[in-house]
Amino acid sequence: MAWSTRELAELAGTTVNTVRHYHRLGLMKEPERRYNGYKQYSVPDLVRLLRIRRLAELGVPLSQIAEVEAAGDATPEALQAVDAELAANVEKLRQARADIAAILRDQAPADVPPGFEAVANRLSEADSSILHIYRKLYDEDAMADMRRMVEADSDEVSKELDALSEDADEETRQRLAEELATSLAQNMRAYPWLTDPVGHLSKSARVTQQTFIEAIVELYNPAQRDVMARAGILAREQVSAEQGIAETPE
């Protein structure tokens, strides 16, 4: 009995293109051809195709099928490696579904940083962008704290800072910096690691600092950067003064 490529594919429950793809990858040998040039497949070809399909159903990547087949006594170890990879992919899919559920629940933009769906309406484009960058610089605990900071921060101050024009006058800048410093100082008290974040970094301190500086320069205008710098200085002065008082004996 001889089958054409189409007939072989139908028997195996796959497609002609799939069979041809397996030939290109070297997973199946080219069969003999009839007098008219058409391929003719036999039972061994069908069995070979079905074996490949079985391994593919188990989740073995096509690039690893030959390796798994050649493993011999090491086949369990090879399959365990595939299983570990499948488990990681399942976890990624589970997390993706959870993220989609949160986005739909909070009617947030699809590209909102994960974990910030509930506060997405409070994030400016620049804030959302820098949070995406922070995810690559800080660990999960730090990002969870940042989410709580966003939830607790004054929405009015954040909106005014977002709308601040680069030619804002001195009085406006100083007032806004003082208002922002209040919430920054509160965050420093609640999350002491902000003043020494090394333990929460995912990258080196040098890479983190360089990336942070470049991001701030690109995402915020000069007036906004000026206000944030002033607010940072004022907040540190407030916290340092409080700590100095607390450490002074009665």
pLDDT tens, residue by residue, 167-204: 999 999 999 999 999 999 999 999 999 999 999 999 99
Would you place residue 13 in the very low, low, confident or very high pLDDT band (cuts 50, 70, 90)? very high
Would you place residue 35 in the very low, low, confident or very high pLDDT band (cuts 50, 70, 90)? confident
* pLDDT of 70: 84
pLDDT tops 70 at residue 22: yes
Over residues 24-44, mean pLDDT: 89
Alpha helices, H only, the chain? 5-12, 16-25, 43-57, 62-69, 75-106, 125-137, 140-152, 155-163, 170-190, 205-219, 222-247
What percent of the chain has a predicted confidence (pLDDT) above 90? 76
User: What CA–CA distance (Å, rounded) separates 168 from 172?
Assistant: 6
* pLDDT of 250: 40
* pLDDT of 232: 95
* pLDDT of 122: 87
The CA-based angle 160-166-167, given to 5 degrees, is 105
Would you place residue 249 in the very low, low, confident or very high pLDDT band (cuts 50, 70, 90)? very low
pLDDT tops 80 at residue 1: no
45-96 pLDDT per residue, tens: 999 999 999 999 998 899 989 888 887 777 788 888 889 999 999 999 999 9
Q: What tokens appear for 216 in the block?
A: 């701030």
* pLDDT of 7: 95
* pLDDT of 245: 55
* pLDDT of 247: 46
Q: Are 102 and 94 in contact (CB under 8 A)?
A: no
91-138 pLDDT per residue, tens: 999 999 999 999 999 999 999 999 999 999 889 999 999 999 999 999
User: What CA–CA distance (Å, rounded) separates 214 from 119?
Assistant: 25
The verdict on pTM exceeding 0.95 is no
Q: What tokens appear for 16 in the block?
A: 């002609």
Over residues 204-217, mean pLDDT: 94
